Chain A
Amino acid sequence: KQEVTQIPAALSVPEGENLVLNCSFTDSAIYNLQWFRQDPGKGLTSLLLIQSSQREQTSGRLNASLDKSSGRSTLYIAASQPGDSATYLCAARTGANSKLTFGKGITLSVRP
């Protein structure tokens, strides 16, 4: 059974800092890994999807990497802004039914 872990649960940084959010998974036989952003009380916004054959994906100030062998993915946010404050969830897609297994998320606060 796939398990996805995100540590720490919360993170507070000053504006302008570059930061890395970590995600680990137990079953390396994933199809892909997806990073989402969720604002309080809102739905999930897809940020990046990395297929199992890829090592990284980039979108603007975001860069996500995937290391299947070690069961890790990271989301790198460059030059953080207060508007980046949100909960960031990673989800691994595995199994014959291609289910998404979510981590519990990291709540990020970027201080002005």
Chain B
Amino acid sequence: DTEVTQTPKHLVMGMTNKKSLKCEQHMGHRAMYWYKQKAKKPPELMFVYSYEKLSINESVPSRFSPECPNSSLLNLHLHALQPEDSALYLCASSRGGRRDRNIQYFGAGTRLSVL
């Protein structure tokens, strides 16, 4: 099983709302990632968790708040977003470890629209 599951598939929210994106994998991977992808652009890395600890934050605005409650779950909490934050949010995982060179497996993404 090489599946990374993301929920919800679609999300529409207002600029004052608080919502969360969820990501789950059961491959025993210890590295999990959030990417943002705008239309016709490549994915941009936002956050990396390694062994449930935040290891990389690519200078993402604080209105995006990641959380890794356990080794299988990754959340992205959203608050006071802007319309320009509308995008496809992708979660990925890999085996993890020092200088991880393993395949990154991606979920199907959450299509977020901010009104």
- Decide if A49 touches B103 in the complex (CB within 8 Å): yes
> Which of B57-106 touch A at CB < 8 Å?
88, 90, 92, 99-106
What residues of A have a CB within 8 angstroms of the CB of B102 in the complex?
49
How distant is the Cα of A51 from the Cα of B81 in the complex, in angstroms?
39
| Nearest chain A CB to B112 CB, angstrom units | 12
Binary interface encoding of chain A residues 19-45 relative to chain B, with 1 for a CB under 8 A from any of its CBs, else 0: 000000000000110101000011111
- Decide if A98 touches B99 in the complex (CB within 8 Å): yes
- Decide if B41 touches A100 in the complex (CB within 8 Å): no
The tally of residues in B whose CB lies under 8 Å from a CB in A reads 24
Is A97's beta carbon under 8 Å from chain B?
yes
Q: Is chain A's interface secondary structure helix, strand, loop, or mixed overall? A: strand
What residues of B have a CB within 8 angstroms of the CB of A71 in the complex?
none
Q: How many pairs, one residue from A and one from B, have CB atoms within 8 Å of each other in the complex?
A: 51
Chain A interface bracket (under 10, 10 to 19, 20 to 34, 35 or more): 20 to 34
- Decide if B101 touches A32 in the complex (CB within 8 Å): yes
> Which of B24-78 touch A at CB < 8 Å?
41-43, 45, 48, 55-56
- Decide if A99 touches B43 in the complex (CB within 8 Å): no
- Decide if B45 touches A44 in the complex (CB within 8 Å): no
How distant is the Cα of A99 from the Cα of B4 in the complex, in angstroms?
19
What residues of A have a CB within 8 angstroms of the CB of B111 in the complex?
41
Q: Which chain A residue has the least Cβ–Cβ distance from B41?
A: A104
How distant is the Cα of A93 from the Cα of B75 in the complex, in angstroms?
24
* B contact set with A: CB distance below 8 Å: 4, 6, 41-43, 45, 48, 55-56, 88, 90, 92, 99-109, 111
A-B contact pairs, 12 of them (CB 8 A): A34-B103, A34-B104, A41-B88, A42-B109, A44-B92, A45-B106, A49-B102, A49-B103, A89-B42, A97-B48, A99-B48, A100-B104
